[in-house]
Chains A and B, each alone.
Chain A
Amino acid sequence: MPIHEKSLIRPEDLETHDDMVLDGVDVSGHWSTFIKTRVVSDYNEALEEEIAALPGGEHIHRCWQCGSCTNSCTVNAVNPDFNPRYWIYLIRMGMESELLRDKDIIWQCVSCNKCTYACPRDVFPEGVMKATSHWLERKGHTPKSPSTHFDEVFTEQVVATGKIEESRTMRRFFTRTKQALMQDWMVEMVKRMLRGLPVGMLTRMGLATLVAPRTSDWSRASAAIQEYIDEQHEEQENALNLAQLVETAKRDAA
Chain B
Amino acid sequence: MTTKDKYKKVAYYPGCALEGSGHSYNRSTKAVGKALGLDLVEVKNWNCCGAMEVKNIDPKIQTYLSSRVMSTAANEMDMDVVMAPCNGCYHNLKKAEYDLKNDAESAEVVDRLSKKAGHKTYESGQVETIHALDWIKDTIGEEGLKSRVKNSLSGIKVANYYGCMYTRPRHIFPEKDQGPGSESTSKPHFMDDLLAAAGAENVDFPLKTACCGGAHTLSDSDMSTKLVLNILQAAKLAGADVIATECPTCHSGLEMHQIRAEKTLGETVDIKILYFTQLLGMALGLKARKVGVHENISDSIRFLKEKGLG
Choose, from B2-10, B60-68, B138-146, B233-241, the stretch at the interface. Answer: B60-68
User: How far is B57's CA from A149's CA once the two chains are assembled, in angstroms?
Assistant: 11
In the complex, B306 has a CB within 8 A of chain A: no
> Taking A78-B227, A221-B68, A225-B113 as contacts, is the C-beta distance between A151 and B50 under 8 angstroms?
no
The one of A196, A216, A224 in contact with B295, judged by C-beta atoms closer than 8 angstroms, is A196
The A-contacting residues of B in range 147-186, CB under 8 angstroms, are: 164-165, 167-170, 185
Q: Across the interface, do A152 and B23 meet the contact criterion of CB distance under 8 Å?
A: no
Q: Across the interface, do A173 and B19 meet the contact criterion of CB distance under 8 Å?
A: no
Choose, from B121-129, B188-196, B217-225, the stretch at the interface. Answer: B217-225
> Taking A117-B169, A163-B16 as contacts, is the C-beta distance between A154 and B54 under 8 angstroms?
yes
User: How far is B299's CA from A166's CA once the two chains are assembled, in angstroms?
Assistant: 22
User: How far is B225's CA from A242's CA once the two chains are assembled, in angstroms?
Assistant: 37
Contact string against A for B residues 64-91, beta-carbon threshold 8 Å, 1 for contact and 0 otherwise: 1100100000000000000000000000
In the complex, B263 has a CB within 8 A of chain A: yes
Choose, from B28-36, B208-216, B276-284, the stretch at the interface. Answer: B208-216
Query: Which A residues are CB-close (under 8 A) to B113?
Result: 221, 224-225, 228
Q: Across the interface, do B21 and A224 meet the contact criterion of CB distance under 8 Å?
A: no
Query: Which B residues are CB-close (under 8 A) to A189?
Result: 255-256, 259, 297
Q: Across the interface, do B48 and A162 meet the contact criterion of CB distance under 8 Å?
A: yes
CB distance from A122 to the nearest CB of B (A): 8
The B-contacting residues of A in range 187-220, CB under 8 angstroms, are: 188-189, 192-193, 195-198, 201, 204-205, 208, 213, 215-218, 220
The one of A55, A75, A177, A198 in contact with B223, judged by C-beta atoms closer than 8 angstroms, is A75
Q: Across the interface, do B218 and A170 meet the contact criterion of CB distance under 8 Å?
A: yes
> Taking A164-B16, A229-B58 as contacts, is the C-beta distance between A195 and B53 under 8 angstroms?
no
> Taking A163-B47, A185-B259 as contacts, is the C-beta distance between A114 and B211 under 8 angstroms?
yes
Q: Across the interface, do A55 and B58 meet the contact criterion of CB distance under 8 Å?
A: yes
In the complex, B266 has a CB within 8 A of chain A: no
Q: Across the interface, do A147 and B299 meet the contact criterion of CB distance under 8 Å?
A: no
Number of chain B residues close to chain A: CB under 8 A: 66
Query: Which A residues are CB-close (under 8 A) to B264?
Result: 185
User: How far is B46's CA from A164's CA once the two chains are assembled, in angstroms?
Assistant: 12
Q: Across the interface, do B58 and A213 meet the contact criterion of CB distance under 8 Å?
A: no
Q: Across the interface, do A56 and B48 meet the contact criterion of CB distance under 8 Å?
A: no
CB distance from B164 to the nearest CB of A (A): 4
In the complex, A223 has a CB within 8 A of chain B: yes
In the complex, A110 has a CB within 8 A of chain B: yes
Query: Which A residues are CB-close (under 8 A) to B226?
Result: 78
> Taking A74-B210, A113-B168, A208-B19 as contacts, is the C-beta distance between A147 and B215 under 8 angstroms?
yes
CB distance from B208 to the nearest CB of A (A): 13
Query: Which A residues are CB-close (under 8 A) to B65?
Result: 158
User: How far is B156's CA from A15's CA once the two chains are assembled, in angstroms?
Assistant: 58
Query: What is the total of A-B residue contacts with beta carbons within 8 Å?
Result: 182
Query: Which B residues are CB-close (under 8 A) to A184?
Result: 263
In the complex, A89 has a CB within 8 A of chain B: no
Contact string against A for B residues 12-47, beta-carbon threshold 8 Å, 1 for contact and 0 otherwise: 000011011101000000000000000000000111
Query: Which B residues are CB-close (under 8 A) to A244?
Result: none
User: How far is B16's CA from A91's CA once the two chains are assembled, in angstroms?
Assistant: 37
The one of A193, A195, A221 in contact with B117, judged by C-beta atoms closer than 8 angstroms, is A221
Q: Across the interface, do B20 and A167 meet the contact criterion of CB distance under 8 Å?
A: yes
User: How far is B115's CA from A137's CA once the two chains are assembled, in angstroms?
Assistant: 33
In the complex, B51 has a CB within 8 A of chain A: yes
Q: Across the interface, do A146 and B220 meet the contact criterion of CB distance under 8 Å?
A: yes
Name A's B-contacting residues (CB within 8 A). 55-56, 74-75, 78, 108, 110-114, 116-117, 124, 127, 130, 145-152, 154-155, 158, 162-167, 170, 173-174, 177, 184-185, 188-189, 192-193, 195-198, 201, 204-205, 208, 213, 215-218, 220-221, 223-225, 227-229, 232
Cross-chain pairs A/B with CB under 8 angstroms, 15 sampled = A55-B60, A74-B210, A112-B211, A146-B216, A150-B219, A163-B48, A164-B16, A173-B219, A174-B218, A196-B299, A204-B19, A215-B45, A217-B118, A220-B117, A232-B58
A-B contact sample (16 more), CB < 8 A, given A110-B213, A188-B262, A189-B297: A78-B226, A110-B224, A111-B56, A112-B164, A117-B170, A117-B185, A154-B53, A154-B54, A164-B51, A184-B263, A188-B259, A217-B45, A220-B117, A224-B112, A224-B113, A228-B60
Name B's A-contacting residues (CB within 8 A). 16-17, 19-21, 23, 45-48, 50-54, 56-61, 64-65, 68, 109, 112-113, 116-118, 164-165, 167-170, 185, 210-211, 213-216, 218-220, 223-224, 226-227, 255-256, 259-260, 262-264, 292-299, 301
What are the nearest 6 A-B pairs in CB distance?
Answer: A112-B211, A154-B53, A221-B117, A224-B116, A146-B219, A196-B294
